[in-house]
Amino acid sequence: MAQISWDDFRKVELRVGTIVEVEDFPQARKPAFKLKVDFGSEVGIKKSSAQITDLYSKEALLGKRVLAVVNFPPKQIGPLMSECLVTGFHRADGAVVLAIPDPEVHGDGEAASEIENGARLA
């Protein structure tokens, strides 16, 4: 496994976003959805293609919180210009499980607080 420096890691903008739109992507080589993800006022809404159709329906994805890299250069994927990379983990069968932020974080005696869209991975 190649090692990277701390400075290399700091260049990666991994941010929390909420999926606000999901469409089929029949032009993709492998089954995929077209997503629009809201990363808050600083980053805005970005488009992505995600090969996550094995485990997720369009309805289940709408409103789901995700972690994505938002500072890659745009990449043409068929007719879609992808602007971010939604992250996940491959299972042994090849299906992708999304990397998501913990939905409820409790402090000492405090109510649950949600991470805001656009929050950067610490």
* The pairing of beta strand 14-24 with beta strand 65-69: antiparallel
Domain count, the chain: 1
Q: Does 50 reside within a domain?
A: yes
Q: Does 110 reside within a domain?
A: no
57: domain CATH number is 2.40.50.140
Give Cα 28 distance to the centre of its chain: 18
Which tens digit of pLDDT belongs to each residue from 64-75?
A: 999 999 999 999
For the cut 80, the answer to whether the pLDDT of residue 7 exceeds it is: yes
pLDDT at res. 109: 57
Q: Does 19 reside within a domain?
A: yes
Q: Does 69 reside within a domain?
A: yes
- Rounded Cα distance between 82 and 46, Å, is 8
Range of the domain at 71: 6-98
Q: Does 1 reside within a domain?
A: no
